[in-house]
Amino acid sequence: MGNQLDRITHLNYSELPTGDPSGLEKDELRVGVAYFFSDEEEEVDDRTPSDCGFTKDHSPAEEGPFSVSEVEYSAFCSQECIFSKLRENEDLNVYSAKTLLTMCKPGDLLELVATAQAPHWAIYEQDDQVIHLHKGEIRKDSLLEVSNGRHGRIVNNRYRYRPLPPDLVMQNAVGHLGLSSEEICWTNSESFAAWCRFGKREFKAGGEAHSAEQQYFLKVHLSGSGVHTLVFRSLEDMIRERRRVDASGILKELSLVNGGKE
């Protein structure tokens, strides 16, 4: 985790209307349609497997399981834990894409990881096919091709929201295939895939109304330096910042953002 940033910056993201034109969204199971688009270039690139940051002891050709060096997180909305990526509480081991295929079921949430790169998320369909957001387009591709040597894992429980049934997860994903640019409103693969699985409008850019009472707290667990807490006004802002941390390594001056560590 040698890469470091001198400081972390917060961008002011333009606010968009909510995903539901009426501004209302009920609590029951939801299959939604997206209306607006906020673009962020996606993470899957053309690096060879040897460029993905795995050591000779953990080559991308191995089936796994094995562990990779990663920043760990937990996140809260008010006092409720909504996200957890902590090795002490869960299995963070990764597997080759070939092995991962033997473990997947339709509607599973997948995460592909590589060093110095934000993870790429996708929804598993069947027969090696995944549905994902890549460079502003929602598309269906082979998991083996998308992984390009990266290892991955199933992350159905990474977010603590109540999941939709698998058939509705697939309906969300398949129903948006082929959409691009102004037709969609997710800024990265994680937000799209998580929305498919949980159906929550908060995963959309501008999908929630901001209020002084509601805040998101991201706890960044850094080995040897305690836990640092960042505060955000929306889930989408928090996801984007966390993905920048993943892509950049340990943040040397993270404490400057929130005034210190716990």
Q: Judge whether 121 and 113 are in contact, CB under 8 Å.
A: no
Confidence at residue 116, expressed as pLDDT on a 0 to 100 scale = 82
DSSP character at residue 127: T
The reply to whether 163 falls in a domain is yes
Reported as type and span, the H/E element at residue 220 is strand 216-222
The reply to whether 89 falls in a domain is yes
Confidence at residue 182, expressed as pLDDT on a 0 to 100 scale = 81
The reply to whether 120 falls in a domain is yes
**pLDDT above 60 for 61:** no
The reply to whether 158 falls in a domain is yes
Q: What is the 3-state secondary structure (H, E, C) of 45-108?
A: CCCCHHHCCCCHHHCCCCCCCECCCCCEEEEEECCEEEEEECCCCCCCCEECHHHHHCCCCCCC
Between 212 and 33, the more confident residue is 212
Mean pLDDT of the chain: 77
Between 67 and 210, the more confident residue is 67
The reply to whether 88 falls in a domain is yes
Angle at 211 between CA 205 and CA 213, to 5 degrees: 130
Find the domain containing 181 and state its range.
66-248
User: For 91-116, how does the pLDDT look when each residue is reduced to its tens digit (9 = 90+)?
Assistant: 899 999 999 999 999 999 999 998 88
Q: What is the 3-state secondary structure (H, E, C) of 156-170?
A: CCCECCCCCCHHHHH
Between 249 and 180, the more confident residue is 180
Q: What is the three-class DSSP state of 176?
A: coil
Confidence at residue 70, expressed as pLDDT on a 0 to 100 scale = 87
The reply to whether 114 falls in a domain is yes
Instruction: Read off the pTM.
Output: 0.77
The reply to whether 47 falls in a domain is no
Confidence at residue 8, expressed as pLDDT on a 0 to 100 scale = 31
CA distances from 147 to 42, 169, 215, 223 (A): 13, 21, 34, 28
The reply to whether 154 falls in a domain is yes
- Identify the weakest region by mean pLDDT among 103-117, 150-164, 216-230: 216-230
Q: How many domains does the chain have?
A: 1
In whole angstroms, what is the distance from residue 199 CA to residue 230 CA? Answer: 25
Which residues, including other chains, have CB under 8 Å from residue 22's CB and lie 6 or more apart?
Answer: none
Check which CATH number belongs to the domain holding 236 and give it.
Answer: 3.90.1720.10
- Residues 216-220: what's their mean pLDDT? 94
